[in-house]
Amino acid sequence: GSNIIEQGDIGTNFYVVDSGEFKVSTMKTEEHDEVKVLNTMRRGQCFGESVLMTVNATRMASVCATVDCGAWVMHCSVYEQSMLINCTGCPVEEFLKGVDIFYHLSPAIVRGIAACCEFVELPANTVIFQEGDLSDELYFIFKGKVTVFDADRRKLATLKTRDLFGEGAVLAGKSRRTATVVTRTVTSLLRLPSAVIVKLFPLGLGNLLDEKLVLQVLKRMPGFTQLSEQMLKDCGLMKDIHLRSITLELGALVAEQHKPAEAIFIIKRGGLLVTKRQRQELGTQSRRLAEREYFGTTAAI
């Protein structure tokens, strides 16, 4: 019944189960009024890995022994020392340090990610993947530009050096691509299997990718286009800004015309139909929104 890890504490140790059984769970919150069991760990499995990747990482869950247990313990400093001895700096490592979602990671884990990346160079006008393709790889643009299209060949975004794409495959596992990506110039990419990302990252991966998506969309919003990269990041870190991910069923009403606007919505996966009622003689006007598009900007004014 002893807790080996308490949710909310600052972690320093990584654990490998030697014997017995551990229960991984989250505490009650305002959104969830009961304890939620996430996993059961047995011999050979490990937990607490977030401390190997993030400086001063806060524990995302509690771990409790359900029977008499034994575990091997490694302090995060031992792991970092090992990585420093076995890995040396390289252009890929230096590049990854400048990628937004890696800014808070320790140098040791960035070296580990760099070692798992595959370098790919493609000519201009090459289709990297198409909507509907089955894949589970994440891409970083090392050099060059790519364009993201929807099924109707509408341009959703233009991405450049240090941007990433294909993150949906990381969040959903082996899923269908929801957009088509084509190189605009000769482009060098770093390709990383989602299995590596999921294994190396702590539980906050989804939040990091959401923050990256928000920054990319903010760059295109009226009132934000003139801001520098750092100013946009500062906007995303403001304490009174609440980033929340929601999932909607087919046909769900997201916002209603003439009702108070309270939030800006960014489409992470899927699409929406926006219908605007006009004067009787003009009828209604409709348009479709796809991934990386947004609506509700009047809520920010």
3-state secondary structure the chain: CCEEECCCCECCEEEEEEECCEEEEECCCCCCCCCEEEEEECCCCEECHHHHCECCCECCCEEEECCCCEEEEEEHHHHHHHHHHHCCCCHHHHHHHCCHHHCCECHHHHHHHHHHCEEEEECCCCEEECCCCEECEEEEEEECCEEEECCCCCEEEEECCCCEECHHHHHHCCEECCCEEEECCCEEEEEEEHHHHHHHCCCCHHHHHHHHHHHHHHCCCCCCCCCCHHHHHHHHHCCCCCCCCCCCCCCCCCCCCCCCCCCCEECCCCCEEEEEECCCCCCEEEEEECCCCEECHHHHC
Q: Which residue has the higher pLDDT, 164 or 235?
A: 164
The answer to whether residues 206 and 243 touch, using CB atoms and an 8 Å cutoff, is no
CATH architecture for segment(s) 87-201: Sandwich (2.60)
CA 212 centroid distance within chain: 7
Residue-range domain boundaries for the chain? 3-81, 87-201
- In angstroms, the CA 276 to CA 172 distance is 32
Least reliable range by pLDDT among 1-15, 168-182, 187-201: 168-182
Q: What's the mean pLDDT when you consider all of the chain? A: 76
Common-topology check for domains 3-81 and 87-201? yes
- Tokens 């304890």 map to which residue? 35
End-to-end CA distance of the chain: 52
Tell me the pTM. Answer: 0.50
The answer to whether residues 200 and 109 touch, using CB atoms and an 8 Å cutoff, is yes
Predicted pLDDT of residue 198: 66
- In angstroms, the CA 273 to CA 288 distance is 5
Written as six digits, the tokens of 190 are 């770093």
- In angstroms, the CA 98 to CA 86 distance is 22
The answer to whether residues 274 and 288 touch, using CB atoms and an 8 Å cutoff, is yes
Predicted pLDDT of residue 183: 95
Sign, CA dihedral 215-210-237-57, equals negative
Helices 107-116 and 76-86: crossing angle in degrees, nearest 10, is 50
Predicted pLDDT of residue 159: 92
CATH topology of domain 3-81: Jelly Rolls (2.60.120)
The answer to whether residues 208 and 243 touch, using CB atoms and an 8 Å cutoff, is no
The residues facing 98 across adjacent strands are: none
- For residue range 236-295, what is the model confidence (pLDDT) as tens digits? 555 445 666 677 788 888 888 777 777 778 777 677 788 877 655 555 677 777 766 777
- Tokens 């600052």 map to which residue? 10
Q: Is the pLDDT of residue 215 over 90?
A: no
